[in-house]
Structure 1
Amino acid sequence: MRRRLLASLATFIFASHSLPVIAAKQPISTEYKAPKLILVLVVDGLPNEQVQRYRHQFGEGGFKRLLEQGAWFGNAHQAHGVTVTAVGHAAVLSGAYPYQHGIIGNNWLDPQTLTSIYCTEDTQHTYLNEDTKASDGTSPANLKVSTIGDELRYATGNQSKVITVSGKDRGAILLAGKTGTAYMLMKKSGNFASSTYYMQNYPEWRQKFVADKPQDRFYGKQWTTLLADAAYQGDASDDIVAPADTSSSKRFPYTYDSKSGKPDAEYYEKLFTGPYVDELTLDFARAAIDGEKLGHNPAGVTDILGVSLSSHDYVNHTWGPESKMSHDHLQRLDRLLAKFLSDVDKKVGLDNTLVVLTADHGFANVPEFSQSMKRDAYRLDSSKMLLALNQHLQEKLGVEKLVRKWSAPHFFLNYTAAEAKGITRTDLENAAARYLLSYKGVANTYTRSQFENGMVPNDRISRLMQRGWNKQLSGDVSVVIKPFWYFGSTPAGTSHGSPYAYDTNVPLIFMGKPWIKAGAYSQYAEVVDIASTLSHLLRIRMPSGAEGRVLTETLK
């Protein structure tokens, strides 16, 4: 037995020396690499359905690149009831709804004085070296919550740079938040300007850009179709969207000029309807990348560049999303985005950049086009509705002018006059709401008492209207129009602002290979999810009013 044990031991020792040597495991690096640049692209007035309807015609490198290399949601929404530019832009990087962020429209009324308030007006500040009107947008004073940019700068000791640019002041200012820097295009001079809220003197790179007068290079140019005629066969007839007897009768070719025969305010304003303001905006964004060294921050922290592209909104207002003009504009924007993303790749590297693309709202079809599709669709004149409502309340309750004013989609009631006659606030609200429900074109109404007490029905439209209503700022009776109707009295064009899917459903795309799993996602998503997702990726505190979810299904 002893010999057998010794033999076994010898065999084990020999075998052990014959085994291969296994190297010790090297520690796996757990260092997280955040993006060097967050690029946020907001296309003003772009319904998701247009991206899907025309995607087969996109070139390489623009929308096609984003759709194929990014994570895109087909069921993403601006999830509030008043779908307009300011409200949508406020949602993108705050992650908040209007009842919290305080931007309830492009304009609204002061409930006490009934004076109009513009969403980004601030009489304490003026445009820098540009003419400023009393209601011009010069600061984010009315925005009540923080944004991703604010939280990023807080987390990095203000070392991160947050730069935003837009054709519209509200597009730039509401993306920039409280601590970023916004630049917007001046319609009078054609210059990109900022305000005294942000700076007292312009940086050298901005001065050089403006000195070259790039806005003047389009004078005398014509906007014509980019694609072959056959590509537009499915679009609405010009006779429907641009009838000859209206102000929207302009058709291709669309010429950029002025009565003076040289670049002036008339010409600069005309540029907004078409592809050239977007081209200027992206050129200025390129200058900002170079001038501010965005994506190459010496502190090694993430920078943010927000670019709001304004022109698609102007085009859709004029001719509708079903028009050849809107179709062509989207194709031209696609090519502009392709060049811009290529330049970002060269300047920063797309593998170092997290790109987010969305829109502030969608669009309704031109009512005449909807009628041609056998839909119940008209324009609703709010001034006539106000007169009819006051007349009805006077006949029913015996008091004149119980409705003080209208600011879409709200009526402001005269509670003082009603109570002086023994009429309770609830009775006045209910009388107004009941009458409006019978008014042609109205689908539903909500009262202040319903909103304040949380007594709205638990359906989608009601939830969106509740989110869009602010206790301190909004009116006393809110109106939802019927699908395909819209508030307006002009004989042509269309608008947005409703809680219906054509106004809420917008593109939502994240692209960034190191962080994002590419693919088409069918899950429901909201624009407010952007802020929560970026907070997670940047490992920073969420903005103060953020309510969205982290889109974990898209993350590597």
Structure 2
Amino acid sequence: MKKTCSTSANLLRRMLISSLLSAPVIALAAQAGEKPAQPKLMVVLVVDGLPQEQVVRYRDQFAANGGFRRLIDKGAWFSNAHQAHGVTLTAVGHTAVLTGAYPYQHGIIANEWTDRKTLEQMYCTQDNAHNYIGEETKAGAGTSPANLKVSTVGDELRYATGNQAKVITVSGKDRGAILLAGKAGTAYMYMSKSGHFASSTYYMQSHPAWVQQYHQSNPQDRFYGQEWKPLLADKAYTNDASDDLVADPKERFPFQYVSKSGKPDAEYYNKLLTGPFVDEMTLDFARAAIEGENLGKNPAGVTDVLGVSLSSHDYVNHAYGPESRMSHDHLQRLDRLLGNFFSYLDKRVGLDNTIVVLTADHGFPNVPEFSQSIKREAQRINSKDMMAALNKALSAKFGSEQLAEKWSSPTILLNTKLIAEKNLKQSDIEAAAAEFLLGYSGIANVYTRHQLEQGMIPDTRQAKLIQRAWNRQLSGDLLLVTQPYTYFSYGAKGTSHGSPYSYDTNVPLMIMGKPWFRAGNYSQYAEVVDIAPTLSHLLRIRPPSGAEGRVLSEILH
């Protein structure tokens, strides 16, 4: 009996071993353990000023071969993705994409801010030690990532590959290119005086031959005299806001791109930014960069990175609002431009060899007049008037004038020198200022330095976003949050962004790359800071130094 049991056990063991070594199981095991080949090219697209709601609202009108349609159908699309910090501005949002960090760490707290020591204005990519190559460089121009305090995916990739990986970025705005390029990449930005794309002496002393060749034919001049008019039939724009609510009579379709001089000049090149043509030029320059730098065909066999920030949607939304025909049409045109660009990538590198990421730096609220027309409370706050009223109230309480020294949107810097001279307590000034401002029309919340330094903030999502946005060394002493649909403005037209509300934070997050990602519409909460850890995981490199996002493991094969 014992022998029979022993024989049966041995037979069972042999059968089990045989089954484990069978071809199908070996294939499955190998498949489970294998990782897809490294991508040859990683393309990171940032559409400046694109709220998620516009992608949802206009998705049925995207072209069958358009860029957004391809990303929706073939990529992973997070519908609940956010720029998860409380000051939603261009520089801050672009920095989040490839650093995976929040402003309290990465140091880019706004497009510009007031230096606490000198009280001078500091631009986010300002570096007076460097100039644009072959272009006029004004004081305070954006020429380098000197103010960026953390690394990017591109920086870490260059480090890991001994600088063999190439990282090239291009944008209509200097901050759009520079903050994607990081410290080790190379940025090119649109020059609104000449219509060229230029780099700076931070990156090189002269442009490579391919850049010089690109500009020889003056491609920026080909749009002179052209019109921007609606792409679709009139009925496609039925649900858009009336032009009477969002645009002056002289600023409506069709828009013609000319100048008073009768020929291409700085007036014309600057005008191109508000419309579809600078985005077209940006993607054309990106093609030239791919070919000039041989991106995606790196002889070292490593992944190259191309960052493209498409700036014009932001200009259009600022001017007319995301509810306008102009913004609607611009997005449809951008869809077609991206579709052509993806087809080019497929032929040049192969989309199955390429990771494509698309996101936005921030969303957009509606124009206040439109919001008011649909019974929302909305207004513009004149910050000069607000500061004057605040100083008057503080003077009456403490007997000193100009205790609120500088407005640096959306923060206020107190006059710390005067406070010390008068033997006043700064926390008392902060509390009194906050009390006054909370009663000021259009202000919803005020966070003080004392609260933020001590972590004495309410347990709310808004407070968490504000804490992330506030940098102890750089930010002001009071950080203001307006009521929904209200913002700080000196003008009487257009709209702006910068709040912690969902219309400013909820942005598209789409990632396409068939060998690495599962396509689908994902409802899980995600943040733009999740992009950097996810890409780092796939590239098998160290995450950027300040990265706090998560790997989006639910979309990985």
Residue from 36, 40, 53 that aligns with 2:44:
40
Deviation at 1:414, TM superposition (A): 1.3
**Residue identity in the other structure for 2:211:** R
Partner of 2:215: 210
2: distance between equivalents of 1:197 and 1:502? Answer: 36
Normalising by structure 2, we get a TM-score of 0.94
Q: Is the 8 A contact 2:98 2:532 kept in 1?
A: yes
Partner of 2:483: 482
**Residue identity in the other structure for 1:478:** L
How large is the Cα RMSD of the aligned pairs? 1.7
1:221-240 correspondence to structure 2 within 5 Å: 221-240=226-245
**Residue identity in the other structure for 1:509:** M
Deviation at 1:417, TM superposition (A): 1.7
**Residue identity in the other structure for 1:266:** E
**Residue identity in the other structure for 1:280:** M
SS at match of 2:94: helix
Deviation at 1:31, TM superposition (A): 5.7
2: distance between equivalents of 1:191 and 1:421? Answer: 53
1: distance between equivalents of 2:119 and 2:471? Answer: 16
1: distance between equivalents of 2:132 and 2:22? Answer: 66
1:432-471 correspondence to structure 2 within 5 Å: 432-471=433-472
**Residue identity in the other structure for 1:54:** Y
- The runs of at least 4 consecutive aligned structure 1 residues that moved more than 2 Å come to 22-32, 418-422
Partner of 1:138: 143
Partner of 2:8: none
Q: Is the 8 A contact 2:36 2:515 kept in 1?
A: no
Partner of 1:294: 295
Partner of 1:28: 30
1: distance between equivalents of 2:429 and 2:451? Answer: 13
Deviation at 1:99, TM superposition (A): 0.4
Partner of 1:352: 353
Q: Deviations over 1:240-266 (max 9, x none)?
A: 00133xxxx410000000000000000
SS at match of 2:298: coil
Partner of 1:308: 309
Gaps of 5+ in 1: 6-11
2: distance between equivalents of 1:180 and 1:454? Answer: 36
Partner of 1:8: none
**Residue identity in the other structure for 1:263:** P
1:366 lines up with 2:367 in the alignment:
yes
Deviation at 1:112, TM superposition (A): 1.3
Q: Is the 8 A contact 2:78 2:509 kept in 1?
A: yes
1:269-284 correspondence to structure 2 within 5 Å: 269-284=270-285
Partner of 1:166: 171
Deviation at 1:421, TM superposition (A): 2.6
1: distance between equivalents of 2:230 and 2:98? Answer: 35
Q: Is the 8 A contact 2:194 2:269 kept in 1?
A: yes
1: distance between equivalents of 2:70 and 2:416? Answer: 55
2: distance between equivalents of 1:295 and 1:404? Answer: 51
1:243 lines up with 2:253 in the alignment:
no
**Residue identity in the other structure for 1:397:** F
Q: Is the 8 A contact 1:60 1:338 kept in 2?
A: no
1: distance between equivalents of 2:126 and 2:279? Answer: 24
Deviation at 1:416, TM superposition (A): 2.6
Deviation at 1:163, TM superposition (A): 0.3
**Residue identity in the other structure for 1:260:** S
Change (3 A) 1:396 1:518: same
Residue from 74, 83, 102 that aligns with 1:97:
102
1:129 lines up with 2:134 in the alignment:
yes
Q: Is the 8 A contact 1:222 1:255 kept in 2?
A: yes
1:327 lines up with 2:332 in the alignment:
no
Change (3 A) 1:31 1:360: closer
Percent same amino acid at aligned positions? 67
**Residue identity in the other structure for 1:385:** M
1: distance between equivalents of 2:422 and 2:35? Answer: 71
**Residue identity in the other structure for 2:303:** T
2: distance between equivalents of 1:122 and 1:415? Answer: 27
1: distance between equivalents of 2:547 and 2:274? Answer: 34
SS at match of 1:81: coil
Normalising by structure 1, we get a TM-score of 0.94
**Residue identity in the other structure for 1:534:** L
Residue from 177, 180, 194 that aligns with 2:185:
180
Deviation at 1:489, TM superposition (A): 2.0
SS at match of 1:40: strand
Change (3 A) 1:401 1:287: same
Deviation at 1:32, TM superposition (A): 4.4
Q: Deviations over 1:396-428 (max 9, x none)?
A: 111111011101111110123223333211101
2: distance between equivalents of 1:260 and 1:415? Answer: 50
1:551 lines up with 2:552 in the alignment:
yes
SS at match of 2:274: coil
Partner of 1:253: 254
Partner of 1:199: 204
Deviation at 1:28, TM superposition (A): 3.4
Kindly name which structure, 1 or 2, has the bigger radius of gyration based on alpha carbons.
Answer: 1
Q: Deviations over 1:205-261 (max 9, x none)?
A: 1111111110000000000000000000100000000133xxxx4100000000000
